Chain A
């Protein structure tokens, strides 16, 4: 067990190092960092001096080690365009993305799991066929189009909800939250739904597939044969076993929610990390790109690790074969 976790943790560190290498290569070789830092009228000698003081003439591995050393402390240098430390920029934007992602993940779970269970239990009914067709439509609808449609109906035609930004936010220490004001909550509704729909369709289809699989197993048949109530069989026995694999996928989905947040934030001009990243790509602002890449990789790796460990905790069979 401990060996397994240690092995996974070592793998996670390796992944982070590979990502750091990519981020470093980006920073160092895409465009000249010096040209991006100084103005037009800097002389060649001044540039060379800056190059020397920044250590850009050092061997590759010395530079890489320094980069990793700084990154571990959360220092990613200055943004080329905004002339602010990247870590500050990201810290300002992080709460917006986090609140948006968590609210929509919750929405997707609360609606998606019951819908998946329902469609699995009533496989032949008309309403579950309708749900399944709708979920295929949901998968075919690109995220940005959902956002545009919502804006058109609720923002432009009905004028019920604000169409961009976060509304009023309340500062709690360095964290800014939009969950405590009316305009903040109103602004959150459409982006959260946009982000949730794609995840929800995935969860519905996944829960349904897993549930159907479990309903076919011998232990469920046996439970039925023993004359247990359908309720007990379906919800206590079948659902419990369904949720183990579903949990893994949902853990991974949290990562993809953050990735899809880029699109949602762009549609609604939501001032989060995704918007910062997409603007950085437009302007080839490498330090922001590198930092965002590292942060996303870190989030993914941590989630993966937690899911792996949870899996072993929940499923006793893995404890034996995991050695």
Chain B
């Protein structure tokens, strides 16, 4: 299990024990984090699980692949720390990861 914190847009923290290999999106949905819609169910085919990676974690999490970068074109208020949470797999290296939910999904 890996510790994951998802900060909802209203500032509420969701501290989650995430299974390694699961995606950040799956953990958000399972824990009913508001603001993560995941319309396509994790196929990297929409941009409704958009999150901002906490500044301290951007390097460890890495940058999006080409397909994810393409999908981010459809997201709202995209920043350099933007990722689609369905494309971030939880690993022990990410223990303590913090991500922030944007004001709205596209």
Q: Do A and B come from one complex?
A: no
